[in-house]
Structure 1
Amino acid sequence: MAEIDHIVIGARTLEEGAAWVEAHLGARPQPGGKHEGIGTHNLVMGLGPDCYLEVIAADPDQPAPAQGRPFDLDDPSVTLMLEAGPHLIGWVARTPALEAVAARLGPAVAGKVRPWKRGTLSWRMAMPPQTQDMRNLVPSLIQWDDGQGAAPRLPDSGCRLVALEAEHPDVDSVRRALGIRGLDEAVTVRRGPHPRLVARMRRADGTDAALASG
């Protein structure tokens, strides 16, 4: 069974992403590190023991990777969107059996399993092909090499992810894509005019906030 591991905020720069998160949630993410060979770097913020928030941006100190940066960061439409300001751009689900799930779905659906590393953390990740991920409504899958991952290591910001919602004109396709990954209960899916991801959040002071992809 897969479950939500973290939500992903895309930003033009990490500085812009940190300021945006603080303005929306009242807490500031802390430095994460570089994804060597992937072309990105990040900030992270704990949302409790099992979930966290990631701010990701292109790392100007790394060359652009041959396969493109994750979460469609090199897509012109995403680049244009992030010029206007940071946005929620995706989410990641963890599974204890990544290779088995990826083999069952096949690389055309699950994406190729690739190793990642940041500092002392290492993991494997399969990202759906960009043409089939429904604007990142369907998550990348991750398996942490230590079985725990980043969330338990992070200071608790006091903020919480209350619910994750996906909007799409074809709700059946989204539900099917989530179901074959064991994520039937993870996301509320409803019909909308265009693909849109919404993270319902609760700030440390108990007030509510919403982060959206558009």
Structure 2
Amino acid sequence: MAEIDHIVLGARTLEEGAAFVEQHLGVKPRKGGVHEGFGTHNMLLGLGRGTYLEVIAPDPAQPEPAHPRLFDLDDPSLKVALEAEPRLIAWVARTPVLDAVVARLGHRAGEMQAMSRGDLHWRMAFPPQRQDMNNLIPALIEWKGEGASSRLPDSHVRLLALEAEHPDADAVKSALAERGLEEVLRVRRSPHARLVARLKRADGQEVALSSG
């Protein structure tokens, strides 16, 4: 069984990402940390029990990584889009049985990577490029011990729904079902691929963040 762990907002810089979150959600994310060797750093916003929003951006203090940055941050078209403003770029699903899921999916699960930040440790499996359907199919994460969300103060912002739009909605649904996520993401057919997160601010106002 898998469930939403967090949603990912890409930004050109963390400062721009934090300002965007504060403008739209009414609260500023807190400092996260550095992903050593991956060329990124982040800020985090707690969305209640077990869920959070991650703001991720290239880390200018790190050398260029040996591999492309996570969540397509080095993709030229995404870099151009982030020049305009930060945007939702991906989501991550949590599972306590990552080895079993990867074994069942085979190459469709992608390469598993061990990661850490401070005393947080986790493993992730990212779908191979062109099989992630514009990041509508999530990376899978398994935390070793407590996850990041357990350490975040409650912002009183809530994730109401996560939705996907794609020309081949059936293929998206099938890929989600393989990962036990068919009930997690609302999928509908659309000419263009898009990820949409619907959130409620602490003041009750509802806000939609999207990838395009």
TM-score bin, normalised by smaller chain? over 0.9
Distance 1:144 1:32 in 2: 16
**What's the secondary structure of 1:131's corresponding residue?**
coil
CA positional deviation for 1:131? 1.6
Aligned partner of 2:204 in structure 1 is: 206
Aligned partner of 2:71 in structure 1 is: 71
Unaligned runs of 5+ in 2: none
CA positional deviation for 1:64? 2.1
Aligned partner of 2:5 in structure 1 is: 5
Aligned partner of 1:180 in structure 2 is: 178
Aligned partner of 2:61 in structure 1 is: 61
Alignment of 1:38-187 (within 5 A): 38-107=38-107, 109-146=108-145, 148-187=146-185
1:197 aligns with 2:195: yes
Distance 2:105 2:157 in 1: 34
Q: So what's the TM-score if we normalise by structure 2?
A: 0.98
CA positional deviation for 1:7? 0.2
CA positional deviation for 1:138? 0.5
User: 1:122-161: per-residue Cα shift (whole Å, max 9, x none)?
Assistant: 1000011122111100000000000x31111100000000
Q: Matched residue pairs, number?
A: 212
Distance 2:109 2:24 in 1: 32
User: 1:99-118: per-residue Cα shift (whole Å, max 9, x none)?
Assistant: 111121113x1111110111
CA positional deviation for 1:212? 0.3
Residue type at the aligned position of 1:201: L
Q: Percent identity?
A: 66
CA positional deviation for 1:28? 0.5
User: 1:158-194: per-residue Cα shift (whole Å, max 9, x none)?
Assistant: 0000000000010100000100000010000001111
Contact 1:124 1:144 in 2 (8 A): yes
Distance 1:103 1:60 in 2: 36
Distance 1:64 1:200 in 2: 34
Distance 1:162 1:62 in 2: 35
CA positional deviation for 1:6? 0.2
Residue type at the aligned position of 1:27: V
Residue type at the aligned position of 2:137: V
Q: So what's the TM-score if we normalise by structure 1?
A: 0.98
